[in-house]
Amino acid sequence: MTYTMQRWTSQLSSILEIMYETEHFLSADQIYLKLAERDDSVGIATVYRNLKKLVDMGFISEVNWKDVRHYTKHPFSNAFFVCEKCGSMLRIDISLADQTYLSNEVGMRVNKWSMRFEGICTECEKCI
Ligand SMILES: [Zn+2]
């Protein structure tokens, strides 16, 4: 299990939601337009900054397509943990073996999965 700690903001959360609602690739402009429907106070620079954060955190992937950067949710990192106290967010890499087990051993066809854990992070746990 690996993780990256990062401050979790509402813009970051909204962008991640948009990415997870979409199966295909989106450009920053397309993401910006979708985000503007929810929150018109967010500028394009914020969108770029948050997209870079999400790429660094491993939540989304970035590809160049026709000279424009496009983004899509990362297929294997749908699990994350949010600290109720400090709002930090941890990405959790759950083994793909779990999906393979369901497909091959149990016979279930997994098309999509997501997991959100909430609780107290290790840093906050030390302070209690
Ligand atoms: Zn915490």
Per domain, the residue ranges of the chain are 1-128
Instruction: Spell out which residues have Cβ within 5 A of ligand 1, the ion.
Output: 83, 85-86, 88, 121, 124
How many whole angstroms from 88 Cα to the centroid of ligand 1?
6
Q: For residues 75 and 78, what is the distance between their CA atoms, to the nearest angstrom?
A: 7
Q: What is the pLDDT of residue 47?
A: 93
Q: 114 C-alpha vs ligand 1 centroid, how far in Å?
A: 21
**CATH class of the region 1-128:** mainly alpha
What's the order of all strands across the beta sheet hosting 26-27?
Answer: 26-27, 68-73, 60-65
Other C-beta atoms within 10 Å of 84: how many? Answer: 10
The predicted pLDDT at position 115 comes to 66
Q: Can you give the pLDDT at residue 103?
A: 74
Tally of CA atoms within 13 A in the half-sphere of 84 that contains its CB: 6
Q: In what order do the strands lie in the sheet with 88-92?
A: 5-7, 88-92, 79-83, 115-119
Task: Report the Cα 21 to chain-centroid distance in Å.
Answer: 11
Q: How far is the CA of 126 from the centre of ligand 1 (A)?
A: 9
Q: What is the pTM of this model?
A: 0.58
Q: What is the pLDDT along the chain (128 residues), one digit of tens a residue?
A: 344 445 567 788 888 888 877 777 899 999 999 999 987 888 899 999 999 988 887 788 888 877 888 888 766 555 667 788 887 767 666 655 566 676 777 777 766 666 677 899 888 999 87
If you search the block for the tokens 């590809």, which residue do you land on?
63
